[in-house]
Amino acid sequence: MTMKHLIFVAVLLAPLPAFALTCEYTVECFEQEACQATDFTIEIIPGDLDELAGVTSGTAELRDVAGTQGAHFVRAEGFTVVENRASGDDTLFRLVIGSDGTSRYQVLILDGPLAVTYHGLCVESE
Protein backbone atom coordinates (compact mmCIF):
# COMPACT_ATOMS: atom_id res chain seq x y z
CA MET A 1 0.00 0.00 0.00
CA THR A 2 1.23 3.47 -0.82
CA MET A 3 1.37 6.31 1.69
CA LYS A 4 -1.58 7.92 -0.12
CA HIS A 5 -3.70 4.77 0.46
CA LEU A 6 -2.67 4.59 4.13
CA ILE A 7 -3.72 8.20 4.72
CA PHE A 8 -7.05 7.54 2.97
CA VAL A 9 -7.71 4.48 5.17
CA ALA A 10 -6.74 6.42 8.32
CA VAL A 11 -9.21 9.18 7.44
CA LEU A 12 -12.00 6.62 6.90
CA LEU A 13 -11.32 4.93 10.24
CA ALA A 14 -10.94 8.12 12.29
CA PRO A 15 -13.83 9.01 14.62
CA LEU A 16 -16.19 11.64 13.27
CA PRO A 17 -15.80 15.14 14.66
CA ALA A 18 -18.00 15.81 17.67
CA PHE A 19 -20.70 18.46 17.91
CA ALA A 20 -23.10 19.30 20.68
CA LEU A 21 -26.87 19.46 20.80
CA THR A 22 -28.79 21.69 23.19
CA CYS A 23 -32.38 20.67 23.87
CA GLU A 24 -34.88 23.03 25.49
CA TYR A 25 -38.06 21.44 26.85
CA THR A 26 -41.15 23.55 27.56
CA VAL A 27 -43.85 20.93 28.27
CA GLU A 28 -43.77 18.10 30.83
CA CYS A 29 -46.31 15.25 30.90
CA PHE A 30 -46.46 12.81 33.81
CA GLU A 31 -48.32 9.60 33.00
CA GLN A 32 -51.93 10.45 32.08
CA GLU A 33 -52.10 13.68 34.04
CA ALA A 34 -52.52 16.99 32.24
CA CYS A 35 -49.28 18.33 30.78
CA GLN A 36 -47.76 21.47 32.29
CA ALA A 37 -45.27 24.13 31.33
CA THR A 38 -41.64 23.53 32.29
CA ASP A 39 -38.19 24.94 31.63
CA PHE A 40 -35.71 22.09 31.27
CA THR A 41 -32.47 21.92 29.27
CA ILE A 42 -30.31 18.96 28.27
CA GLU A 43 -26.99 19.09 26.45
CA ILE A 44 -25.90 16.12 24.36
CA ILE A 45 -22.16 15.85 23.87
CA PRO A 46 -21.33 13.06 21.39
CA GLY A 47 -18.11 11.15 22.07
CA ASP A 48 -16.48 8.61 19.76
CA LEU A 49 -18.73 8.24 16.72
CA ASP A 50 -18.46 6.01 13.69
CA GLU A 51 -20.46 5.99 10.48
CA LEU A 52 -21.56 2.91 8.57
CA ALA A 53 -24.09 2.81 5.74
CA GLY A 54 -25.46 6.27 6.55
CA VAL A 55 -25.91 5.59 10.29
CA THR A 56 -23.75 7.46 12.80
CA SER A 57 -23.48 5.81 16.20
CA GLY A 58 -21.34 5.76 19.31
CA THR A 59 -21.13 7.19 22.79
CA ALA A 60 -22.46 10.45 24.16
CA GLU A 61 -22.94 12.33 27.40
CA LEU A 62 -26.29 13.68 28.59
CA ARG A 63 -25.86 16.76 30.79
CA ASP A 64 -28.65 18.34 32.80
CA VAL A 65 -29.24 19.84 36.25
CA ALA A 66 -29.00 16.36 37.82
CA GLY A 67 -25.51 15.74 36.40
CA THR A 68 -23.82 13.92 33.53
CA GLN A 69 -24.65 10.42 32.31
CA GLY A 70 -23.12 8.24 29.63
CA ALA A 71 -25.42 7.27 26.78
CA HIS A 72 -25.61 5.62 23.36
CA PHE A 73 -26.01 7.91 20.33
CA VAL A 74 -27.56 6.96 16.95
CA ARG A 75 -28.24 9.32 14.04
CA ALA A 76 -29.77 8.12 10.78
CA GLU A 77 -31.79 9.72 8.00
CA GLY A 78 -34.21 12.13 9.61
CA PHE A 79 -33.81 11.27 13.30
CA THR A 80 -31.45 11.06 16.25
CA VAL A 81 -31.86 8.79 19.30
CA VAL A 82 -29.88 9.06 22.53
CA GLU A 83 -30.60 6.59 25.31
CA ASN A 84 -29.22 4.97 28.42
CA ARG A 85 -30.10 3.12 31.57
CA ALA A 86 -28.91 4.73 34.78
CA SER A 87 -26.37 2.45 36.44
CA GLY A 88 -27.70 0.83 39.61
CA ASP A 89 -31.13 2.27 38.89
CA ASP A 90 -34.32 1.04 37.27
CA THR A 91 -34.66 4.12 35.09
CA LEU A 92 -34.34 4.38 31.31
CA PHE A 93 -33.72 7.66 29.49
CA ARG A 94 -34.62 8.02 25.80
CA LEU A 95 -34.34 11.18 23.75
CA VAL A 96 -35.63 11.30 20.15
CA ILE A 97 -35.00 14.22 17.79
CA GLY A 98 -36.72 14.64 14.42
CA SER A 99 -35.11 16.18 11.35
CA ASP A 100 -36.64 19.59 12.20
CA GLY A 101 -35.27 19.52 15.77
CA THR A 102 -38.57 18.60 17.41
CA SER A 103 -37.78 16.40 20.37
CA ARG A 104 -39.30 14.10 22.96
CA TYR A 105 -37.36 13.13 26.08
CA GLN A 106 -38.76 10.24 28.09
CA VAL A 107 -37.82 9.16 31.57
CA LEU A 108 -39.12 5.62 32.08
CA ILE A 109 -39.15 4.31 35.64
CA LEU A 110 -39.35 0.53 35.50
CA ASP A 111 -40.66 0.07 39.04
CA GLY A 112 -44.30 1.02 38.56
CA PRO A 113 -43.89 1.50 35.62
CA LEU A 114 -44.05 5.29 35.29
CA ALA A 115 -43.26 7.65 32.42
CA VAL A 116 -42.48 11.35 32.19
CA THR A 117 -42.35 12.86 28.70
CA TYR A 118 -40.86 16.25 27.86
CA HIS A 119 -41.69 18.11 24.61
CA GLY A 120 -39.19 20.53 23.14
CA LEU A 121 -36.69 21.51 20.47
CA CYS A 122 -33.00 20.66 19.95
CA VAL A 123 -30.40 22.64 18.02
CA GLU A 124 -26.77 21.93 17.18
CA SER A 125 -24.26 24.04 19.05
CA GLU A 126 -20.50 24.20 19.27
Residue-range domain boundaries for the chain: 16-125
CA dihedral (25, 29, 35, 37) in degrees, to 10, reads -30
- Please tell me the distance from the alpha carbon of residue 42 to that of residue 63, in angstroms, as a whole number: 6
List the CATH code of the domain at 16-125: 2.40.128
In this structure, the number of other CB atoms found within 10 A of the CB of residue 103 comes to 23
pLDDT in tens, the chain (126 residues): 554 443 333 333 444 445 689 999 999 999 999 999 999 999 999 888 888 888 999 999 999 888 888 899 999 988 999 998 766 678 889 999 999 999 999 999 888 899 999 999 999 886
